Amino acid sequence: MKKLFLLMFTLILTFGLVGCKPEEEDPEEEDPNVELDLDLSSDFLDLCTDRKVYLTTLGQSDIDTVINIIEAASEAIPVNEINSGSEAVVDAVSRKNDLVASEVAKDGDKLPVVLLVTGSSGKGLGAAGTNWEAEKARGEAFALAADSNQMILIVLHVGGEARRGTTTDPILDAVCPSARLMLVVEGGNFDKYFTNSTNEYNVPLHLYSRQAKMVSAFKTLFNIE
């Protein structure tokens, strides 16, 4: 009996000690964009000049903020409201909150650029009479068009952690793989979603400490001194 108790005690102690072994931490993935507020490389210089540039929101939020960033980069680039069927203008940013891929027109050989402002707002979606599923469907159409070389997509996320979650992430999943560039305010990358995307899809990512720091990116895109 004594031997049995001793055996059981030894077994319990052994399993107990194994259970106490600290979990090994996953080695951190290499993050190529940890440095914030970097200037865009010369590859992106002029990307938005002499082309039709469209601005829309997937999630009905933060588009006014992006307009402020563009205006801060240069008041020489006007942001015009466009209505269905009207032509976008070269050397202007044509804004439409519910823009669909089929409205984006080519201008000769030059591919148009679509700035996609991501980040869903429940209040914004409700006010616009839409929902995140419909926004995702719009996003998928843009992605399909970009994949078939009909347009260039730039994904923007400026609303921080509050603009991430179940109504935003599926939209990001749809558009990020097809983007030419992702410009993100770092609060939105709290879970490294965008750094993981850049590794997985090989899409360049630039992170900014705050919205105002993103102004430099638009200066490069529009080649503004």
Q: How many CA atoms lie within 13 A of 129 on its CB side?
A: 1
Q: Which alpha helices (H) appear in 120-187, and where do they start and end?
A: 122-128, 132-147, 169-175
Residue 214 C-beta: closest distance to another protein, Å: 10
Sheet architecture: strand order including 152-157:
79-81, 93-95, 53-58, 113-118, 152-157, 181-185, 205-208
69 binds another protein (CB under 8 A): yes
Cβ distance to another protein smaller for residue 33 or 60: 60
How far, in Å, CA of 157 to CA of 159, rounded?
6
Query: Phi first, then psi: what are they for 95, rounded to 5°?
Result: -100, 135
144 sits near another protein (criterion: CB under 8 A): no
Residues between 73 and 132 that touch another protein (CB under 8 A): 121, 123-124, 126-127
Using CB under 8 A as the criterion, what x/- string covers residues 20-59 for binding another protein? ----------------------------------------
216 lies in the binding site for another protein (CB under 8 A): no
Residues found near another protein in the complex (CB under 8 A): 61-62, 64-65, 67-69, 72, 121, 123-124, 126-127, 159-160, 162, 210-212
